[in-house]
Each structure stands twice: as C-alpha cells, then as structure tokens.
Amino acid sequence: MQTGRYFAISVMSVLCCHAVIASNFVISPMSESQIQGAIFIDSLSVPSPGEVFAAMNKVCRPNWATLVLPISAPVSTERSQLALAVGVLSANGYIAVEAQDGQQVKNVGREMMSVAKSLGISESLMGRGNSLIQFADNSDWEALAGELEATENEVKATMVGQKDKELVTLTSAAAWLRGLQVVTTVILASPTLQGAEVIDQSSLARHLLLQLDALPIRVRKSERVITVHDSLDQIAAILEKRNKLPDSLLEKKRIEIQKIHQLAAGAVQAIMTSASAPSQIPSIPPIPMPRIPGVPEVHGVSNNSPAVITPSKP
C-alpha cells in the first residue's frame, strides 16, 4: 500500500536521525514482585524455532540442508503425543525453510495436517496447508516462516477451543526440544562451540517445566510427557550449571552440550515413535569431534548410561 510504504519510510528516517532518544525519566529496576508477576504468554514468551535459527545464522552459517530430517507423524490416538508431534513437526518446518527445501516444507505441512486430523482439527487448517504448499512452490521463504508459525498457533487455538488447553504447553515444549536438538548439533560440530551462547535459556526451560508440572494428572502420567519433563529438567539443570563455567573450560562445556543434545534427541525420538512401531527418526550421524592437541577425546553419552570419558594418551 502506498500509505503503508510512506509510513515505513517516515518511521525509518526518523529512527535513523534519532537513533536513541534520551529518556527524561529515571527508570528503577524491577521489584521482586514485578519479576514474579510478569506476564508469560505461550505464543509470545516462548520463542519460535525461527528465532533460534536466526540467532544461529548470525554466529555461524549452519548447513541447514544436512539438518533436515524427514520425519513422519507418529501413529497414535494419544492426544498428548499428537500435541508433542505438532511441536516437533513445526520445528522441522522451520529447518526446511532455513534449508530452502520446498519439498520438505510440503512434507512437513502434510504431516502436520495428518496430526491435525487425528486431533480432530483438520478442517480449520485446510487453508493453512494450501498456503504452505503455495509458498513452498513459489520459494517464498519469509512467508513460509510466518505461515508455519500461524499454522502452529491455529492448532493451539483449536486445542484450546476443544478444552485441551494443556496440550498447548506440550506443543511448545516439543518445538523447543527439537530446536535444541538441531542447534546443539551445529554447536558441537564447531571446535570452539560457536553458537553455544544461543542456548543459554535456562529460565525458558524452567518455565516450560512449571507449565508441565501444572498439567492435569491424566496428561502428566503419559510416558512421553514424563520423558519430555525429565529431559527438560535435566537440561535446565545443565544450563544453569553451564552459565557458571568459565570460558576456558571448553571441553567441559562440550560435554555438557553433548548431554543436552542427547537429552533433547531422546525426547524427540520418544515423541515421534508410534506406539507399536520402531523409531521413525533416522539417527543423526555421530558428530565428528575435532581433535584438539592435548585435550582428552570425548565420547558421546548414550541415553541410558552415565557419561563416559576416555582420555587419550597425550
């Protein structure tokens, strides 16, 4: 619109001329009660995977094409698992957008529609599905990112409408875990753990945990919800401890990030596994750890065994 364009130009020109407007007010720090009472909104306070990946793109240029993993929606009647799957698929869609892989975006859209159908909310999403296909065909990546978020939000809104408000938390937690899995893959591939600061979101992990703790018992007792909860709990603890590590302890940080990666990957795998089928997620190939002279070699941590470090002879 001409009006909109003129407005945009005027806003940006004012901003350029007056980059910082000094405030005449003295602004006090927040009080403890203000911090405790701050408003947390799932769709606003929980970042979209696109934000996480945008931050990673600033620090390093991940090869997103290698991070795209075709994943099928799990065959399940368990609503909590389906809600979790929506989150994982949504994050997958963002990865496909970063990789500019139109076919994968369409595949993700198709899988999301399949899950939505199982949840009984597919009718309202038909338009979204068609938009995803159209944007993918036109390679309109920016529009696709917006449409993915809108699709996820519409699924969440419909869950609320079906009196399944608690499922919204599951979707957000799963999207975060899938994003964490991918981002830690990228970080671990760097000899200097480039991008590690992006995942320092212990408060977010704790918030998601609080929301999971507030779920009705019938949802909380689901095996997959328990797995997601436990993974988030351990991840939050690692992130809180990590913040206190000095930068010089690079290898120790690497071990911690590897643990986070394993926890996130394990949770995603549990989410996307159909009740009666083997895991549908192809394993992410082992990350080749760069050898740093004088530093012990570190092996990955398996899901069910304690960390094993086998120092190599110097």
Partner 1 sequence: MLAASRSDGGKGSDPKFLTDQESPEPLNPAPPVPTESRRLALETAAAFENEGFRIRDSEWQNSLSKGQSAFLQICLFSGNQYWFVAASPTNAVKIRMVVYDPSGKPLKSDSWQDGGAHPGSRAALGFAPTISGMYFVAVEFLDIPGGSPNDVCFVYAYK
How many Å is the Cα radius of gyration of the chain? 21
Q: How far is the CB of 1 from partner 1 (least distance, A)?
A: 9
How remote is the C-alpha of 199 from its chain's centroid?
10
SS3 298: strand
**Which phi and psi angles does 103 have, rounded to 5°?**
-65, -40
Closest approach, Cβ 280 to partner 1, in A, equals 28
Under 8 Å between Cβ of 104 and 70:
yes
Which residues on neighbouring strands pair with residue 309, listed in sequence order?
298
Report the site for partner 1 in 26-65 (rule: CB under 8 A).
27-48, 50-52, 54-55, 58-59
Q: Is the CB of 47 or the CB of 70 nearer to partner 1?
A: 47
Contact letters for partner 1, residues 200-239 (x by CB under 8 A):
xx-xx--x--------------------------------
Determine whether 16 is exposed, middle or buried from the number of CB atoms within 10 Å of its CB (0-12, 13-18, 19+).
exposed
- Provide, rounded to whole angstroms, the least separation between the CB of residue 141 and partner 1: 11
Query: Using the rule CB under 8 A, which residue among 70, 75, 133, 165 binds partner 1?
Result: 165
- Of residues 59 and 250, the one with the C-beta less far from partner 1: 59
- The sign of the torsion formed by the CA atoms of 134, 137, 140, 141 equals positive
Tell me the two tokens of residue 215.
């779920």
Which of 20, 77, 247, 312 is the binder for partner 1 (CB under 8 A)?
20
Cα–Cα distance for residue pair 6/14, rounded to 1 Å: 12
Which residue stretch of 102-110, 191-199, 276-284, 292-300 sits at the interface with partner 1 (rule: CB under 8 A)? 191-199
Choose between 40 and 249: whose C-beta lies nearer to partner 1.
40
Comparison of 14 and 65: residue with beta carbon closer to partner 1: 14
Q: Which 135-164 positions form the footprint of partner 1 (CB under 8 A)?
A: 142, 145-146, 149-150, 153, 157-158, 160-162
Contacting partner 1 (CB under 8 A), which of 19, 278, 282, 288?
A: 19
Q: Which is nearer to partner 1, 127 or 191 (CB)?
A: 127
293 near partner 1, rule: CB under 8 A: no
CA–CA separation, 172 and 175 (whole Å): 5
- Residue 197 makes contact with partner 1 by CB under 8 A: yes
Spatial distance between the Cα atoms of 229 and 220, rounded to a whole number of angstroms: 9
Q: Which is nearer to partner 1, 51 or 78 (CB)?
A: 51
- Amino acid (one-letter) located at 312: S
Residue with Cβ nearer partner 1 (73 or 199): 199
Other beta carbons within 10 Å of 139? 11
Q: CB-based contacts of 75: which residues, under 8 Å, 6+ apart? A: 274, 275, 276, 277
Q: Rounded to whole angstroms, what are the CA distances from 261 to 55, 140, 199, 300?
A: 18, 31, 11, 10
Count of residues touching partner 1 (by CB under 8 A) = 63
- Give 42 or 230: the residue with its C-beta nearer to partner 1: 42
Looking at residue 108, its amino acid is V
Q: Which is nearer to partner 1, 2 or 310 (CB)?
A: 2
In the chain, the N- to C-terminal Cα span, in Å, equals 66
- The CA distances from residue 130 to 71, 90, 150, in Å, are 20, 16, 13
Which residues are near partner 1 by CB under 8 A? Answer: 4, 7-8, 10-12, 14-15, 18-21, 23, 25, 27-48, 50-52, 54-55, 58-59, 142, 145-146, 149-150, 153, 157-158, 160-162, 165, 197-201, 203-204, 207
